[in-house]
Every structure is written in structure tokens, then in C-alpha cells.
């Protein structure tokens, strides 16, 4: 595992999400209250792209899947209890550095 730069700090502000590719993996970056979080971008239910969903519907820290409304906590990838048709999703450590947003990923 290594930290890889995935975005410029200027690409995100509070309440925003952006999808970044790393190899074959799609990673969703989301900023809430000045902090950036990273989870897999692909919904484990039926592979919807979470960057096309919404951030902040259930709580400030939840992203809602655009297809069947599963909610995921961007801080840890956990699916909300009431939308248990989806499973937990991978989450990644994020470091905000002077020159950008780094995410700990494979390779
Ligand atoms: S594809 Fe995300 S909840 Fe169905």
C-alpha cells in the first residue's frame, strides 16, 4: 500500500464529490467539513457509479446510490442499516498534503 496523489486540493470543496481512477479501480473522493474521505466508487449492490449519487441526503457524511438509494458512510464505507440490500464498501486513508490529496491504495 502506498499513498498516491489523486486530486488537487482545489478540485473539491465542502459537499462535493469527484471520481478518480487508479489503475482499474474507481475511487470516490468526498469532502465534508473541510476533510476529504475516499471510498470505492462502485456500489456493491449492482455496480452503480456512486459519483452520480448524492452527498448529504441521509446525513452530511452519507452518499446515496443513484440507482436504488443505498446509503454509505464516506468515513468508513459502512452501508446504512436501513439499506441493507447493499454491502459495506472499501474505504481508503486520505492525506491532505500541500500539493494535493493523497489516497492510500494498492500499488
Ligand atoms: S446499485 Fe446501488 S443500491 Fe442498487
Nearest to 29 by CA among 2, 57, 8: 8
CATH class of 2-105: mainly beta
Kindly report the pTM of this predicted structure.
0.96
Decide: 30 and 63 in contact? Cβ < 8 Å: yes
Nearest CA, atom 1, ligand 1: 46
Closest approach atom of ligand 1 to CA 46: 1
Q: Which residues, given as ranges, of the chain have pLDDT below 50?
A: none
pLDDT of residue 106: 83
Residue of 54, 77, 86 best suited for mutating to test ligand 1, as the one with most atoms within 8 Å of CB: 86
pLDDT of residue 1: 87
Amino acid at each position: 500500500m502506498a499513498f498516491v496523489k489523486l486530486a488537487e486540493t482545489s478540485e473539491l470543496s465542502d459537499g462535493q464529490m469527484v471520481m478518480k481512477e487508479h489503475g482499474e479501480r474507481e475511487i470516490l473522493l468526498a469532502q465534508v467539513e473541510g476533510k476529504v474521505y475516499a471510498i470505492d466508487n462502485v456500489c456493491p449492490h449492482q455496480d452503480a457509479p456512486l459519483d452520480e449519487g448524492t452527498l448529504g441526503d441521509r446525513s452530511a457524511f452519507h452518499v446515496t446510490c443513484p440507482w436504488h438509494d443505498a446509503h454509505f458512510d464516506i468515513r468508513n464505507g459502512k452501508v446504512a442499516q436501513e439499506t441493507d440490500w447493499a454491502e459495506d464498501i472499501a474505504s481508503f486513508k486520505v492525506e491532505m498534503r500541500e500539493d494535493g490529496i493523497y489516497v492510500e491504495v494498492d500499488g
